[in-house]
Amino acid sequence: MRFYYFSATHWDREWYQPRQVYRKRLLTLTRRVLDLLEQQPEYRHFIFDGQTVVLDDIAEVHPEWKPRLTAAISGGRLKVGPWYVMPDEFLVSGEALIRNLQIGRTVAEEYGSAPWPVGYVCDIFGHMAQLPQLFAGFGLKGAVVWRGLASTEPPRFLWESPDGTRIRTIHLMPRNGYGQFTLDVRGGTDRSPEEGEFRERLRQCVEQDTAYWGKEAFLLSDGLDHSCPPEDPVQMLRWIAEEYPDAELVQTDCLDLFEREFGPEVSTVLRGELIHPADINGNWQISGTVSSRSDVKRANDLCSNRLELLVEPLLAERAAAGETGDLGLLHYLWKELVKNHAHDSICGCSIDSVHRRMLGRFGEVFDGARAIVDDQIQLDRERLTGVRLEKQSGDPADEVAPDGRYLLRLRNPLPFDVDRTAEYEIRFPAAAPYVKRQAEPFGYEFVNSFQLRDEAGELVPYQIVSIRRNQMRQFQWNVFRRYDVYRVTFRTKLRAAGWTTLRLEPSPEFVRSYRTMRTSQRSATNGILQLDFHPEGTFDVIDLRSGRSFRNWNEFRFDREIGDGWNHVEPVGSTALLCSSESSLRVTLDGPERTMFEITRRYHLPASLRYEGGLGENYVGIREAEESAEVILRTTVTLDRDSDQLGLRFAVENHAEDFRLQLIAPTGIPGNCFAGQNFAILNRKAGRELGDTTEGGFEREFIEKNVSGLIGKRDASGGVALLFAAGIHEAGAIDNAAGELVVTLLRAFRRTVNTDGEMEGQQSGRSEFLCAARFFGAGTDDAELWKAVQILRAETPVHLLKEAGTQPFANESFCRIDGKLNFSALKPAADREPGSVVLRLVNLSPEPRRGSVTVAKKLRAAEFCRLDETPVKGVEATDGGHTVPVEASPWEIVTLRLRF
């Protein structure tokens, strides 16, 4: 028998207490750990939960401890990393997970050591399919997991991601997991029992758990939540050795376990995601976290979208030119964002004050990213005018084009062309009226009369959505000016990773169009899709290419909620509300380019749940309140010219409590669905994967599961996919004749951990969800659908400047991807080397695929790298040093470093 003693702590940075309260305990823990490591050389290892954020939290208060920490870490006795924070895998993007590991490495190196090379995910609420590929891409030697596996799975197995990457994996004891030894032998987080009690508890533990671990290798995991090591760990280890004198006792950091205990006999291979509900008391998977606190999820997604799909591609072009001045700020913003990715934080299962502070941090990240984008717009303005902003006149009239001729500049940050209809803000300087204005006879409302032309000189039709006059906007960082702000919708093709220029000029004719896509008061068509709206607030979609009908969309389901941030739970006798009390339909935009309908549905449901008492203060039960409250759902349906995609925006005005709200989308397609997950599109069973087998289990399986970006159904003729921009992470397919997709929009709950109940989880007020529905034919694959998700999520910066006096400019794509490989990241290199850019691609296909990357500026060199940007092999650029060919095996993530 070999005993592997694992000494650690699982450190939640914030959860049932605010961060600063946890920090106070962290400092106490750190003092004890450092004292033990310095005073007891026989005590070899302490593992700081696979994180490095703890080091930042400690050093902010005690910078004088940094030499002691550095000595312990560089000496290999205090293990930190590989994460910056232990994240949730389903609620943050794949790129955010990579940044998390990169920041973890950077912080560890600041303390003189490489990070602990173990994929420690001891408490994450299930695991994504591609995690083995991510861990291998950072050179990690193996993984340690607990939740998301059936108790019958072995303690050691090989975990395989969709691309075939396998890593050695330790499955912690299903009962008590990473705190098994802490609870079963030590008796609790801060206990150090007397010798007799310790020996008795140890014997009971070994006797009980040998059936799981076997008679060769037994892991003693002493790492419960926020636990300190025992007061005298060396004495405790002596007791273990004396109790089992024939056994080998190893103080482990798991590396020796990977090396010694994964022989040929370890043949079990588990593939893909690990989301099995608990089948014994203790190892709960806790799947409901993907739908709690949708406000937190939405804020995180918006920040990630802006950093990954806008800021990093913009800064990549500057890095290629040798400009690295903003990379420190970019690193800071990522670090602040990743701090919110700790699993008990982003999962929405903490107390209200934690999530309130998270929203503040999200706001800081979003604003910092906006400042970088604003700066890129100003740099483009300077390049075209040849005048630095600080040297320009302070007179707002200098922006005015007396001839009414302007350049409208649009930046597509994505490294592929985008051809779509979108709404943009055009700011006309208010310092002087536009040279050409129009109004209906007798001058009811004057409107700037202009036309748009593309780079080929062709007219670009447009629709004015709204006009707001004399609005304050930022011109540069300390200069604000007034503008007449036009919201304008039009379709144009935006070049990959570059600026596209439209010319705005006075129109010689009245700008007016009688054309419409509406075919009646309640129907519309763009020649591809037909919409028919019903009085009760639903609508049908007909795909005119195939004749397939999708009936009764815009249905919602309300059921009661007594759960919390961890779980959705319905009370006994729970009712479900399926129909609204009234509905109305508005046409909010009507024209040849875009038509928009707004459906308003009003639902009246019991205002809350009541937890009642009886005589003698006895608990009686739960019932619905007699008074009612209103929930208003406004669905905006957007139909664009020549598009097979509908825009969907769901705005919820909530005045009720204690319920779950779900969207029901009938597809008419029976059978399985597909769902997005980081770096993968997974096929999932309709209904429950395990069927009825969890009816009597400790944790039930839900139909709704984690999704990232999209969920859909297809058959031999094509199908439909729901695309999500931000805030939606739970969806599934109901196993019924209607082929319904079910999407959780929000859960309103009052239970929070270790409190008497709080109200911010009720999600009162307004919530908004931006989605789309893509109706596709048989030839559409997952790569195209994921590109549609990225287009939905990406922002397009736009600015207007007068044409006169501008410098000659060449519109070109900084970087372009061709082929069916999907873009994941275009960013400055993590080491901030001038002239160095990293491009990441992923093959979302079970077949090998090829593609190419073309850059405008000639390359000095190109090389394939691991995910951590460690070079693997060089690649020869063709086309005079401008094009790099790329091949990817099924589901492979490819990282390419480009040196300019």
Order of strands, edge to edge, in the sheet holding 518-520?
518-520, 523-525, 529-533, 539-543, 548-553
Whole-number CA gyration radius for the chain: 29
Cα–Cα distance measured from residue 797 to residue 284, given in angstroms and rounded to the nearest whole number: 44
For residue 311, give the DSSP letter. I
What is the reported pLDDT for 393?
Answer: 67
SS3 state at 479: strand
Comparing C-alpha atoms, which of 467, 340, 279 is closest to residue 86? 340
Tell me how crowded residue 584 is: count the other CB atoms within 10 A of its CB.
Answer: 12
234 phi and psi angles, rounded to 5 deg: -65, -40
Range 651-680 burial, b when 16+ CB lie within 10 A, else e: bbebebbbbbbbbbbbbbbeeebbbbbbbb
d(C-alpha 862, C-alpha 853), whole Å:
11
Q: What residues are paired with 421 via a beta bridge? A: 491
For 324, phi and psi rounded to 5 degrees? -125, 15
Cα separation, 103 vs 481, whole angstroms: 39
Q: Pairing between strand 447-448 and 645-654?
A: unpaired
Cα–Cα dist 480/474, whole Å: 4
Q: Which two tokens stand for residue 207?
A: 């006797």
Determine the Cα–Cα distance for residues 610 and 606; give it in Å rounded to an integer: 10
Could you give the CA distance from residue 612 to residue 499 in angstroms, rounded to a whole number? 63
Helix (H, G, I), strand (E, B) or coil at 550: strand
CB atoms within 10 A of CB 695: 10
Greatest Cα pair distance, the chain, in angstroms, is: 103
> Each residue of 232-283: pLDDT tens digit?
999 999 999 999 999 999 999 999 999 999 999 999 999 999 999 999 988 8
- The Cα–Cα gap between 185 and 202 comes to 5
Mean pLDDT over 27-34 rounds to 97
Tokens describing residue 885: 């060919």
The confidence score (pLDDT) of residue 189 equals: 81
Range with the poorest average pLDDT among 380-394, 445-459, 532-546: 380-394
CB 558 within 8 A of CB 670: no
- pLDDT at 188 exceeding the cut of 90: no
Q: For helices 327-339 and 312-320, give the axis angle rounded to 10 degrees.
A: 150
pLDDT band at 391 (very low <50, low <70, confident <90, very high): low
CA dihedral 854, 855, 857, 861 (to 10 degrees): -70
Q: Fill in the DSSP letter of residue 309.
A: I
Q: Which residue has the tokens 């649009």?
A: 410
Backbone angles phi, psi at 457, to 5 degrees: 85, 5
Distance of CA 315 to CAs 312, 838, 862, Å?
5, 11, 19
Residue 468, SS3 per DSSP: strand
Q: Is the dihedral of CA 115, 117, 123, 129 positive or negative?
A: positive
Confidence of residue 876 (pLDDT cuts 50, 70, 90): very high
- Of 516-520, 628-632, 668-672, 809-813, the range with the lowest mean pLDDT is 809-813
What percent of the chain clears pLDDT 90, i.e. is strictly above it? Answer: 93
Beta strands 498-506; 450-453: pairing state: antiparallel
Taken in order of first residue, the domains within the chain and their CATH numbers are: 2-282 (3.20.110.10), 289-371 (1.20.1270.50), 393-512 (2.60.40.1180), 545-672+704-791 (2.70.98.30), 814-900 (2.60.40)
Instruction: Note the pLDDT of residue 392.
Output: 64
Rounded to an integer, what is the distance from CA 604 to the centroid of its chain?
A: 33
Helix axes 312-320, 352-385, angle to 10 degrees: 40
pTM of the model: 0.97
Least confident of 59-63, 166-170, 591-595, 810-814: 810-814
Do 225 and 22 form a contact (C-beta atoms < 8 A)?
no
Q: What is the pLDDT of residue 574?
A: 86
HEC profile for 369-406?
HHHHHHHHHHHHHHHHHCCCHHHCCCCHHHHCCCCCCE
* Confidence at residue 388, expressed as pLDDT on a 0 to 100 scale: 78
CA nearest to 339, candidates 47, 565, 92, 94: 92
Percentage of the chain surpassing pLDDT 70?
99
pLDDT computed for residue 796 by the predictor = 98
Give CA separation, 642 vs 315, 362, 529, in Å: 34, 37, 9
* 136-145 pLDDT tens trace: 999 999 999 9
Fill in the amino acid letter for 330: L
Amino acid at 637: V
Residue type present at position 439: A
Compare 805 and 463 and report the one with higher pLDDT: 463
Closest to 274 in 3D by CA, of 93, 166, 122, 150 = 150
Backbone angles phi and psi of 237, in degrees to 5: -65, -35
